[in-house]
Amino acid sequence: MKSLEQQLSRLDLNLLVSLSVLLKEKNVSRAAEVLYLSQPAMSRTLKRLRDVFDDPLFYRESAGLQPTEKALTLQEPLSEILLSVNKLIDSTQFSPQSCDQTFRISLPPLMSRQLSVPLIKELMRIAPNASLLEYPAALDPTTLLKDRAVDFSIHIEQPGNSQEFPCELIGSTHAVFYGISGHPLSNKSDTTLQDCLKYQFVDLILDLRSVSGSHNPIDSYLENKGLKRDIVFKSGQLNTLIDAMQGSDKLLISTHTLRSVDDFKQRLDPVFEIKGDPKMDIKVYLVEHKRTLNSAAHQWLKQLILDTLRDKAFPAEY
């Protein structure tokens, strides 16, 4: 009986890399460009793959190559194999200074500025060749992770499946009502929730891909008390909301961590906060997919996120 090594010695690992790219690109020409090959060379590689797996793997349609059922069943184990190989290489070669990887992370829009700015500053300082792409968080913290759209998700909910989606607590925050500096409530020491609700609000859209995601958690809290906000403007950009508030008495609800952002600190006055109520004690988690647990690069970034945000974005209190 042949050993595992003897059986695998007949397989060129580059074929698996090529299959992974073909599954992503679904186009021979684009796959060839990604791998710096000529189109005829890529076509020959596809023929070899078909021989190895005894399956056509792809069939042609007007939109490009479409994977067969066999190819689709290979996609997930293939990804795990390549990640394991990458781990083997990373374990001996990873260095933040030489890392040129692009990492993708999703953040709650309400906390984007507070979280992304200190994080990217640390990343540029320690790993100057790496890059970071930010996405707005989905309602379900696992959605983008499952689709491989992001490497990490910062979210206010823990995933139900902790085996597939491990998570760690970063910090906690609570809701604070803000007005532009000099707001009528700024110097009022006994402001109540009802006082705030006499004013109109601007509001941040929490999930740009979801209509239902436009519902701010504060509104569920208010509904349980038989209360409601008068919202006159919604935007996916925090800066836009604050610019719109200028010269008005409109209010914005964000987190207590917004006070750590220097330019906002000068422009906004906290006028009321919901503190000490367990229903509005918002915990913030860092969520990942199990596929990145064995990646040295991802685990290094994970620790950088935890160290940076616990220290700078979630200070104890102001």
Amino acid identity for residue 103 in this structure: F
Give me the phi and psi of 267, to 5 degrees please: -100, -25
Q: Among residues 58, 93, 128, which one ends one of the domains?
A: 93
> Looking at residue 157, what is its pLDDT?
84
**270 in Cβ contact with 176 (< 8 Å):** yes
Same domain, 183 and 268: yes
Q: Among residues 45, 67, 93, which one ends one of the domains?
A: 93
Same domain, 194 and 269: yes
pTM of the model: 0.62
Position 265 in a domain: yes
Number of H helices, E strands in the chain: 12, 12
Same domain, 194 and 234: yes
Q: Among residues 74, 93, 112, which one ends one of the domains?
A: 93
Same domain, 16 and 77: yes
b/e map 131-160, b = 16+ CB within 10 Å: ebebbbbbebbbbbbeeeebbbbbbbbebe
Domain that holds residue 50: 4-93
Cα separation, 154 vs 172, in Å, equals: 12
Q: Is beta strand 282-288 parallel, antiparallel or unpaired with respect to 58-61?
A: unpaired
Same domain, 290 and 274: no
Position 124 in a domain: yes
C-alpha torsion angle, residues 287, 175, 110, 251 (rounded to 10): 170
What is the number of domains present in the chain?
3
Q: Which of 168, 163, 161, 165 is nearest to 151 (CA)?
A: 165
> Which two tokens mark 182?
């000099």
Same domain, 190 and 267: yes
Amino acid identity for residue 273 in this structure: E
What CATH code is carried by the domain that includes residue 9?
A: 1.10.10.10
Same domain, 59 and 125: no
Same domain, 163 and 302: yes
What CATH code is carried by the domain that includes residue 306?
A: 3.40.190.10
Same domain, 125 and 44: no
Position 318 in a domain: no
Same domain, 198 and 124: no
**178 in Cβ contact with 253 (< 8 Å):** yes
Position 195 in a domain: yes
Cα separation, 71 vs 52, in Å, equals: 12
**289 in Cβ contact with 81 (< 8 Å):** no
Cα separation, 96 vs 154, in Å, equals: 22
Query: What are 24's strand-pairing partners?
Result: none
Same domain, 179 and 275: yes
∠ CA 61-62-67, rounded to 5°: 30
> Looking at residue 214, what is its pLDDT?
45
Residues contacting 61, CB < 8 A, separation 6+ = none
Cα separation, 251 vs 245, in Å, equals: 7
Position 45 in a domain: yes
Same domain, 185 and 243: yes
Cα separation, 84 vs 75, in Å, equals: 14
Position 119 in a domain: yes
Digit-by-digit pLDDT tens for the chain (318 residues) are 666 565 556 667 788 889 899 998 889 999 999 888 899 999 999 999 998 889 999 998 877 889 999 989 988 888 888 877 776 666 656 789 888 889 999 988 777 877 888 899 999 999 999 999 998 888 788 889 988 899 999 988 888 888 999 999 998 888 899 999 999 999 888 999 999 999 999 998 755 444 344 457 788 889 999 999 999 998 878 889 999 999 999 999 988 878 777 677 788 999 999 988 888 888 889 999 998 988 888 999 999 999 998 877 776 554
